[in-house]
Amino acid sequence: MILVNGVEQEQIEVTDRGLHYGDGLFETIAIVNGRPQLWQAHMERLLEGCHRLGIPLPDVAQLAAEAAAACVGSGRAVLKIIITRGSGGRGYLPPADAQPSRLLFCYPWPAHADDAAPITLRLCRTPLSCNPALAGIKHLNRLEQVIARQEWDEASIGEGLMCDPSGHLIEGTMSNLFVVRAGELLTPDLSECGVAGVMRRQVLALADALLLSVRVTRLAVAEVEAADEVFITNSVLGIRPVSRFETVQYHDNPLTRRLQSALRERLEREYA
């Protein structure tokens, strides 16, 4: 089901600035037992994105009601919410009276999300550009990911990692990256580049609760190659262990499994 500004329809105005400029934001949310997971964190990131772009803040209670309507009857599903600045303005300057558009899409739960087997990563050539004005938020300017995702078509490769222009690893095309090295959990700093994933934030909170040593840092390709464990995260996949990155194999993943258990417990407690 698709809801556009609360109405079930499959069309949007061609003047919408989401289409013309990517002038908006989105969230991709797991629906489990009919309820959106980590809703609060998704809404916080969405509101932060609206604030950063100068888009009027959506009514979160209204979004929650529409999310329930869009996903009614779905035990498990994926909810995508798009907020654009709405229509209008000839040129880049937003009109003062822009009315944001709300689009909610309820998709079937993807079969691959249940596959717990560790996945293989590749290194993408397409760089992620740096811009502190856009870093962290989940905006609609996603051409870099679209180009990177076209670099491979082997079904055996589950995700591609992307670097910033200076060659530091930032994230996957659709996921965040964590590595374990000498008992320490490392994840790339996203202050200039990348999307600050809701599941990434959740994993950092779990690691904190488990008193793990955590470092948010610059991460070179060689450091990922030399890691003891590697995993990726997103809201639908959760925590997904990595068995291989290009030619490097990873064998055991005890800390990854510990975090997976902690995540499962946390979500079961909250969404039982």
What secondary structure does DSSP assign to 130-147, as a single string? P-TTTTBS-BS--HHHHH
Identify the three-state secondary structure at position 101: strand
161 binds a second copy (CB under 8 A): no
Beta bridge partners, 159, equal: 121
> Using the rule CB under 8 A, which residue among 45, 58, 81, 173 binds a second copy?
173
Question: How far apart are CB 163 and a second copy at their closest, in Å?
Answer: 12
> Which of residues 20 and 35 has its CB atom nearest to a second copy in the complex?
20
Strands 176-181 and 184-188: antiparallel
Beta bridge partners, 181, equal: 184
171 is known as an active-site residue: yes
> Which of residues 193 and 263 has its CB atom nearest to a second copy in the complex?
193
202 binds a second copy (CB under 8 A): no
80 is known as an active-site residue: no
Identify the three-state secondary structure at position 122: strand
Span 242-271, contacts to a second copy by CB under 8 A: none
> Using the rule CB under 8 A, which residue among 99, 129, 213, 261 binds a second copy?
129
174 binds a second copy (CB under 8 A): yes
180 within 8 A of 228, measured Cβ to Cβ: yes
7 binds a second copy (CB under 8 A): no
Span 78-117, contacts to a second copy by CB under 8 A: 82, 84-85, 90-94, 103, 105, 107, 110
What is the distance between the alpha carbons of residues 109 and 89, in angstroms, rounded to a whole number? 37
Identify the three-state secondary structure at position 64: helix
**206: how many CB neighbours lie within 10 A of its CB?**
20
> Using the rule CB under 8 A, which residue among 7, 61, 111, 133 binds a second copy?
133
75 binds a second copy (CB under 8 A): no
> Which of residues 198 and 227 has its CB atom nearest to a second copy in the complex?
198
Cα dihedral sign, 85-45-193-123: negative
What is the distance between the alpha carbons of residues 79 and 28, in angstroms, rounded to a whole number? 6
Residues that bind a second copy in the complex, under the rule CB under 8 A: 2, 4, 9-23, 26, 53-54, 82, 84-85, 90-94, 103, 105, 107, 110, 126-134, 139-150, 165, 173-174
Residues recognised as catalytic = 28, 138, 171
